[in-house]
Amino acid sequence: MNYAEARNYIENTGSSGIVPGTEVIKELLSRLGDPQESLNVIHVAGTNGKGSICTYLESALNACSLKVGRYASPSVFRYLERIRLADADITEEDYAEAVDLVSKAAEGMTIKPTGFEAETAAAFLFFYRKKADVVIAECGMGGREDATNVFTKPLATVFAPISMDHMSFLGDDPEKIAVNKAGIMRRGVPAIISHMPEVEHAGKIYSPEDILIREAGKAGAECITSDDDLIPAGFENPLPGAYQSANLNTALHVLQRLCPDLKKRFPKAEITYDIMLNGLHNASWPGRFEMIKTSPAVIRDGAHNPGAVKALRGALALDGWLDGRHNVHLIMGVFKDKDYPEILRIMLPGTVSFSAIDLPDRKRGLPSQELAQAALSVREELFGAGLSVPDPHRITVADSLKAALDIPFGKEDLFVVFGSLSLMQLFDEADL
């Protein structure tokens, strides 16, 4: 099987779409010899900040000369970036080899694995065969029924802030979503929980952090909250955006807790908390509050749910972009299943223009015409509530990201491109 054949297999095996549950992947992994049981795994769940926390952990552990694997999906810039080892993407040859072995193992199964299940099994098999020291595994969606939830005893489970997302699969309120994500907790295993904001839904206030603490008690996990600030005075966060401080702090709690354990597991490696801390300076996570151009400024951020968008707006406010001295232009594309009306309610106030664009995935993306109409409706709603939305507020549909950026602007203006990580793929053709 070559790389093209491997990709074709992943795209066409099993049922299409998302199929929650771990029975099929557990059978598949069993046929492969249960490679995941030999891995030292840090398992990360949550709605917003998972990728950033994983990036911090990967950079810190790489600095200790450990062979660090990382599994996350979907890809943002390169398809193979979803499986990484020793600070490099998996090669096409290694990907094809792992998928080939998975396809052979799946031949006798009554229910074929989905593409995500097959690729997850291929990733864990790859890490096992390459003798990864530590693997950072990010849940694809949720926790309890996610295909990554196959580890008997990970090194730790980590929980990034929880917001409303994937409600049709995870539950229709924040408590159900938090309980689902808590499903990766294990008895006796550290569960490091980010300090996270409360979530308002249907007139009720929820505390996902308190729910996770409760669930950790039920599971018999070692509960560690991240309320204490471990960021050293004067430490310069390598990832931009005010909201990254909470993610960095969570990563530091994970590293502080695991450092003694890792020293015992790898006595020949040079593992200290100070080395980990120094390694954090190498963290890089494109597409998160990333300024890619100045005069006019262009910030791209993959925020795609209300929680992430609140963090984005907070970062814009903290950096002074919403103080009235700058014209802020929004460019947005979004998937159909996201709460885009609420996202618009958060982002529209105080901005001067809004451009709706189509995502690269037209099948799953909300048509730009529908997004623009939703923006018009939300603008009227906000006017009725007496909020400050400039009038006239320019709301339009753009044929491309390049076209959305090609409007009259001042040198002190800011363009914010947000709504989906898949928008990051459009920047090359926009020629910025």
H or E segment to which residue 70 belongs: strand 68-71
d(CA 28, CA 352): 52
More confident: 167 or 371:
371
Q: Which CATH superfamily is domain 3-282 in?
A: Mur-like, catalytic domain (3.40.1190.10)
| Per-residue model confidence (pLDDT) at position 141 | 83
Query: Mean pLDDT over all residues of the chain?
Result: 93
Does 19 have pLDDT greater than 80? no
Mean pLDDT of 299-313: 93
The pair of three-digit structure tokens given for residue 359, joined into one six-digit string: 């995502």
- E runs forming strands in 148-296: 156-159, 190-193, 199-201, 204-206, 222-225, 290-293
Q: What is the full DSSP assignment across 300-335?
A: E----SHHHHHHHHHHHHHTTTTSSSS-EEEEE--B
315-343 residue pLDDT tens: 999 999 998 889 999 999 999 999 999 99
Q: Provide, rounded to the nearest whole percent, the portion of the chain with pLDDT above 70.
A: 95
d(CA 118, CA 206): 35
290-430: CATH topology:
Protein-Tyrosine Phosphatase; Chain A (3.90.190)
User: If we measure between CA atoms, which residue out of 272, 276, 255 comes closest to residue 263?
Assistant: 272
Mean pLDDT of 125-137: 98
d(CA 97, CA 87): 20
Identity at 135, one-letter amino acid code? V
| Per-residue model confidence (pLDDT) at position 142 | 83
Cα–Cα distances in Å, from 96 out to 3, 38, 224?
5, 22, 39
The pair of three-digit structure tokens given for residue 208, joined into one six-digit string: 């996902």
343-369 residue pLDDT tens: 999 999 989 999 999 999 999 999 999
- A 10 A CB-CB count for 244 gives 24
d(CA 216, CA 205): 21
- How big is the chain, counted in residues? 432
| Per-residue model confidence (pLDDT) at position 386 | 60
The pair of three-digit structure tokens given for residue 30, joined into one six-digit string: 């069993």
User: If we measure between CA atoms, which residue out of 142, 100, 126, 129 comes closest to residue 10?
Assistant: 100
d(CA 79, CA 245): 28
| Per-residue model confidence (pLDDT) at position 258 | 98
| Per-residue model confidence (pLDDT) at position 392 | 45
Lowest mean pLDDT among 48-52, 73-77, 226-230: 73-77
| Per-residue model confidence (pLDDT) at position 383 | 76
| Per-residue model confidence (pLDDT) at position 169 | 61
| Per-residue model confidence (pLDDT) at position 17 | 66
Strand partners, 365: 335
The residues spanned by each domain of the chain are 3-282, 290-430
409 half-sphere exposure, CB direction, 13 A CA radius? 22
Mean pLDDT of 291-307: 92
Question: 111: which DSSP letter?
Answer: S
Mean pLDDT of 97-118: 96
Does 431 have pLDDT greater than 80? no
User: If we measure between CA atoms, which residue out of 311, 242, 249, 302 comes closest to residue 280?
Assistant: 249
Mean pLDDT of 196-225: 94
| Per-residue model confidence (pLDDT) at position 170 | 67
The three-state secondary structure class of 71 is strand
The three-state secondary structure class of 102 is helix
Does 236 have pLDDT greater than 60? yes
pLDDT band for position 210 (cuts 50, 70, 90): very high
37, with CB counted inside 10 A (0-12, 13-18, 19+), is middle
